[in-house]
Amino acid sequence: MSEKIEKKKYFTLKTSDDQITSSTDIDLIERKDATVWIMNHIFLNPDEHDPHELSLLMEKVISYIQESGYPIWPLDPIAITYFEKHPEYETIWYHRPFSK
């Protein structure tokens, strides 16, 4: 676990000409039962993103989350769907919704 962890972290992917293709941010919060990262939203530029953009963005986020040692609580439906499709990240998924 990292010694100094920021309370807010931004993740952005851009094209070579500096156009934002996707972004998200996470906030570290203290809950009664745990300290967790909250992911409220994901932005995907409909005109400028790669078909694998979400995977590229989430790889950056997940790497940071794993390094921090705190779980993530995705609230954005896109992020929730991503976690549902990637059971290998179940151990870092905080407050996982009930099974469908």
Taking a C-beta distance cutoff of 8 angstroms, is the pair 37, 28 a contact? yes
pTM score: 0.87
Residue 32: count of CB within 10 angstroms of its CB: 4
Interhelix angle 53-68/77-85, rounded to 10 degrees, is 80
Q: What is the mean pLDDT of residues 76-85?
A: 94
Residue 83 lies in a domain: yes
Which among 40, 43, 39 is positioned nearest to 13, based on CA atoms? 43
Domain span at residue 54? 8-92
For residue 88, tell me if it sits in a domain.
yes
Split into its structural domains, the chain has a count of 1
Q: Tell me whether residue 42 is in a domain.
A: yes
For residues 11 and 24, what is the distance between their CA atoms, to the nearest angstrom?
5
Residue 97 lies in a domain: no
Q: Over the chain, what is the mean pLDDT? A: 91
| CATH number, position 16 | 3.40.630.30
Considering the domain boundaries, does residue 1 fall inside one?
no
Does any domain span residue 77? yes
